[in-house]
Amino acid sequence: MVYVAQKNLAKFQELMDTTYRPIPTQDRPCPKGTCGKMRGGCPCVRPGGSPGLPSGYEVKSVIRNENSGMFERYAQRLGEIKRSRGFAKALAPSLFTQEPTREGFADVLAPLDSSLNEAYLWHGTTVRRGLAIAQDDFSLHFAGSGAGSMYGEGLYFAESCTKADEYSQAEPGGHYEGTHALLLCRACLGKFFYVTDRDPGAKQKVESGEFDSTIGDRAAAAKTYREVVLYDPDQVYPEYVILYDRLDGGKTLKSNDAPFHLELPVYWFNVHRNPIADPFSVHYTVRKKIKDLIQRLSSGTCSGSKPVVLDVQRVEDSELWNRYVGFKAGLHQRLRSRGETRCLPPNELDGRPESGHALTSKLLEDEVDAEEAAGIENMDVALNELLLWHGTDAESATAIAESGFLFGSAGTVKHGRRFGEGSYFAEDLAKSIGYAPASSAGVRYVLLCRTVCGHIWYTEKSSDTEAHQDAKRSLKHSVLANPDGKGPREYVLFEDTQVYPEYIVQLAVNDDFT
């Protein structure tokens, strides 16, 4: 999964605005928690109430699901319906989502097969459940468990985002407090069974092969909404996860310049889990696409002979991540208390505003695949969050990935104190490889780490064993050592919570590094 670019969020905002309808139904919970389910909807749920029926929605972030296996199953099912039906009669009037997506959305939405009633539809859910569906697909095991089953146990979708929003729930007290989620799904209706009232037997009509889906038209019968029900997960592809806020009581849209990020990196397998309530610690061998990206990053940041990346494992550890984001949150709070908005970046410290950027950050700017591994979009530039290398041995690499760097403890791996106490990181991979002894098989280990450098103490001395003390006295969070102004530059960090060891990289290098 990847984030949709900020510039394209306006398209999804337009689609939500276009498919919004100010109609309450009995499925929208009472905002006060006092009324039960009643025909015509809770009397507390009215447009513009605070709380009440939302007066609109504000898109905060959009994640695109790029799951080739899932999409292949969808395409195969589409082909089966095509061969079986040839052509399916269209719904009249057409779905809300069909008209606006025919023009002006080509840069974010795919062309659809109207002969099979293929359409984009909304599905309301929670943020975490939406992310899980995007990763693992829909499951009929949970179908109807939370929202009833008027037309039999199946997967329910809506043409109106307002209807789908009835089933979207936030996470009180958590990272997604106040944040809701809809899935924008590509669905193939094929030949649909049309009904205007409750019909639990609709599923059997579809399973018999007579129809491919059900359209429950409560708009015709009760002036509310039309819903689409599918009974085969392969007939739908959850293409986008849309995170949004509800607008109540006359609140209006505000500018959306700052991206809203998920609690965990969007490309993690465990992105849908709660790292506090649902802990995890696993190492995954990355896909070839990501291994190739790490290879390009390795080659591009190495001043010596170019290494060959043999293997890459991504570390997904909730405890280490919680410590890391806790440090970031605390640093943000300290900056705000001092009226500061950002820390000076490395290129403003060394007097080279054009060329003094961290090598890894500069390379990632031009990498189209970076957001699937550690793109700059995921990094907090205000805190000088950087990707840096750390060379070590195989045993220490595993220990660090499991327990963190443990600064100051007996298990800490030290690489000298040329610029004071702390753990040393480099943007030039050649520097880190120098600290990575070759195994008997000739393999060297480096960690590619997320680091929060914060306010940086900058020195061009060739050696300065008191640098860490000078930095701390000046309320700095790290040291950037640039010997004689010529490099290679090293970063010295003081706290283990400033570092998240995200990738264990195995390398083969020439004898130049011995």
**pLDDT tens digits, residue range 220-230?**
888 899 999 99
Is 467 among the domain residues? yes
Query: Do residues 198 and 313 both lie within one domain?
Result: no
Query: Do residues 381 and 447 both lie within one domain?
Result: yes
pLDDT at 170: 85
pTM: 0.88
DSSP label at residue 32: T
For 103-114, the pLDDT digits (tens) are 778 888 988 999
Q: What residues are paired with 368 via a beta bridge?
A: none
- Domain range holding 210? 63-246
pLDDT band of 503, cuts 50, 70, 90: very high
Share of the chain residues as helix, strand and coil, in percent rounded to the nearest 5? 30, 25, 45
Is 90 among the domain residues? yes
- Token pair, residue 377, equals 């979009």
Query: Do residues 388 and 438 both lie within one domain?
Result: yes
Closest CA to 121 of 182, 73, 69, 60: 182
Is 235 among the domain residues? yes
Could you give the CA distance from residue 230 to residue 236 in angstroms, rounded to a whole number?
Answer: 8
**Contact assessment for residue 328 and residue 378, using Cβ atoms and an 8 Å cutoff:** no
Query: Do residues 232 and 329 both lie within one domain?
Result: no
pLDDT band of 478, cuts 50, 70, 90: very high
**Contact assessment for residue 20 and residue 53, using Cβ atoms and an 8 Å cutoff:** no
Is 167 among the domain residues? yes
pLDDT at 338: 92
Closest CA to 54 of 147, 159, 128, 161: 161
Is 465 among the domain residues? yes
**Contact assessment for residue 435 and residue 398, using Cβ atoms and an 8 Å cutoff:** no
pLDDT band of 174, cuts 50, 70, 90: confident
pLDDT at 411: 45
Average pLDDT estimate for 8-22: 93
| % residues pLDDT > 70 (the chain) | 88
Last residue of a domain, one of 196, 227, 246: 246
Closest CA to 492 of 415, 430, 412: 415
Could you give the CA distance from residue 133 to residue 337 in angstroms, rounded to a whole number?
Answer: 40
* Residue the block writes with tokens 């890894």: 360
Task: Identify the residue with better confidence: 191 or 366.
Answer: 191
Last residue of a domain, one of 197, 222, 246: 246
Query: Do residues 191 and 99 both lie within one domain?
Result: yes
**Contact assessment for residue 228 and residue 30, using Cβ atoms and an 8 Å cutoff:** no
**Contact assessment for residue 57 and residue 20, using Cβ atoms and an 8 Å cutoff:** yes
pLDDT band of 31, cuts 50, 70, 90: confident
Average pLDDT estimate for 33-55: 72
Is 3 among the domain residues? no
- Of 36-40, 206-210, 235-239, the one with minimum mean pLDDT is 36-40
For 271-326, the pLDDT digits (tens) are 999 999 999 999 999 999 999 999 999 999 998 889 999 999 999 999 999 999 99
The helix (H) or strand (E) run that includes residue 428 is: none
Query: Do residues 422 and 486 both lie within one domain?
Result: yes
**Contact assessment for residue 514 and residue 438, using Cβ atoms and an 8 Å cutoff:** yes
Query: Do residues 320 and 446 both lie within one domain?
Result: yes
Query: Do residues 412 and 501 both lie within one domain?
Result: yes
Average pLDDT estimate for 499-507: 96
Could you give the CA distance from residue 424 to residue 488 in angstroms, rounded to a whole number?
Answer: 12
**Contact assessment for residue 493 and residue 426, using Cβ atoms and an 8 Å cutoff:** no
Does residue 41 surpass a pLDDT of 80? no
Query: Do residues 173 and 298 both lie within one domain?
Result: no
Does residue 412 surpass a pLDDT of 50? no
Average pLDDT estimate for 395-424: 77
Query: Do residues 490 and 403 both lie within one domain?
Result: yes
Could you give the CA distance from residue 305 to residue 294 in angstroms, rounded to a whole number?
Answer: 16
Query: Do residues 126 and 193 both lie within one domain?
Result: yes
Does residue 513 surpass a pLDDT of 70? no
Contacts 24+ apart (CB under 8 A), 44-52: 47/22, 48/248, 48/249, 48/250, 49/248, 49/249, 50/248, 50/249, 50/250, 51/248, 51/249, 52/248, 52/249
Closest CA to 347 of 362, 366, 336, 334: 362
Could you give the CA distance from residue 88 to residue 215 in angstroms, rounded to a whole number?
Answer: 14
For 459-469, the pLDDT digits (tens) are 999 888 888 89
Is 321 among the domain residues? yes
Is 25 among the domain residues? no
Could you give the CA distance from residue 118 to residue 236 in angstroms, rounded to a whole number?
Answer: 10
Does residue 135 surpass a pLDDT of 90? yes
Query: Do residues 480 and 393 both lie within one domain?
Result: yes
Could you give the CA distance from residue 371 to residue 14 in angstroms, rounded to a whole number?
Answer: 25
pLDDT at 280: 97
Does residue 147 surpass a pLDDT of 60? no
Does residue 492 surpass a pLDDT of 80? yes
The total of structural domains in the chain comes to 2
Provide the CATH number for the domain around residue 464.
3.90.228.10
Could you give the CA distance from residue 340 to residue 346 in angstroms, rounded to a whole number?
Answer: 17
